[in-house]
A and B are shown apart, each in its own frame.
Chain A
Amino acid sequence: MDFSDSPEEAAFRATARDWLDANASLRDGSEKTQDHFMARDADDVARAQDWQARKAGAGWAGLTWPSAFGGRDATPIEQVIWNQEEGRFAVPPNVFLIGIGLVGPTVMTHGTEAQKAAVLPRALTGEDIWCQLFSEPAAGSDLAGIRTRARRDGDDWVISGQKVWTSGAHYSSHGILLARTDPKVPKHKGMTMFLVEMSDPAIETRPIRQISGGASFNEVFIDNLRVPDSARLGGESEGWKVALTTLMNERFSISVGRASGGARAEELIALAARVERNGRPAIEDGDVRARIADFIARQRGLEFTSYRVMTSLSRGEAPGEEGSIGKLLLGKLRQEMGAFGMELAGTAAGISSKAGDDVARWRNEYLTAPGNRIAGGSDEIQRTIIGERILGLPPEIRVDKTVPFSEL
Chain B
Amino acid sequence: MNFGFSEEQDTIRETLARLLGDHATLAVAHDRLDTAKGFDAPTWAALAEGGWLGLAIAEDVGGSDMGAVELAILAEEIGRSLAAVPFAPVLGIAVPAIESMGTKSQRETYLPQIASGQTIIAAAFAEDGGLGPEKSTATVAQDRLTGRKTPVTFGAEADQALVIAKDHDGTARLYLADLCAPGVTIRALDCIDRTRPAVEILFDNTPVELLPGSDPMAIRRLVDGAAVLAAFEQIGLAERILSLTTAYAGERQAFGRQIGSFQAVKHRLADMFAKIELARSNAFFGVWALASGDNRLPEAAAVARLSALDAVQFTTEESIQLHGGIGFTWAADPHLFLRRGWQLKAELGPAAIWRERLFENIADAPRAAS
Contacts and interface: CB of A to CB of B under 8 A. Distances in A.
A311 interface: no
A239 interface: no
A335 B254 CA distance: 25
Contacts of A380: 262, 264-265
A378 B321 contact: yes
Contacts of A370: 317, 320-321, 327-328
Nearest to B254: A142
A208 B255 CA distance: 25
Contacts of B342: 342, 349-350
A374 B325 CA distance: 6
Interface in A377-394: 378-380, 383-384
A169 to B, nearest CB: 14
B356 to A, nearest CB: 5
Interface string A336-356: 000100110011111111111
Contact of A211 (B200, B256, B338): B338
A207 to B, nearest CB: 11
Nearest to A371: B328
A348 B327 contact: no
A115 interface: no
Interface stretch (B60-68, B169-177, B185-193): B185-193
B265 A347 contact: no
B130 A279 contact: yes
Contacts, number: 140
Contacts of A165: 325
Contacts of B264: 380, 383-384
Interface string B192-236: 110000101000000000000000000000000000000000000
With most chain B CB atoms within 10 A of its CB, the pick from A140, A211, A279, A408 is A211
Contacts of B346: 347-351
B185 to A, nearest CB: 14
B130 A208 contact: no
Residue of A335, A343, A379, A398 most packed against chain B (CB within 10 A): A343
A227 interface: no
Interface of A: 135, 138, 140-142, 145, 164-165, 208-211, 213, 276-279, 285, 287, 335, 339, 342-343, 346-356, 359-360, 363, 367, 370-371, 373-375, 378-380, 383-384, 396, 398-400, 408
Interface of B: 126, 128-131, 135, 150-151, 189-193, 198, 200, 253-257, 262, 264-265, 313, 317, 320-321, 324-325, 327-332, 334-335, 338, 342-343, 345-346, 349-353, 355-356
- 4 A-B pairs with least C-beta separation: A400-B256, A350-B342, A209-B330, A352-B190
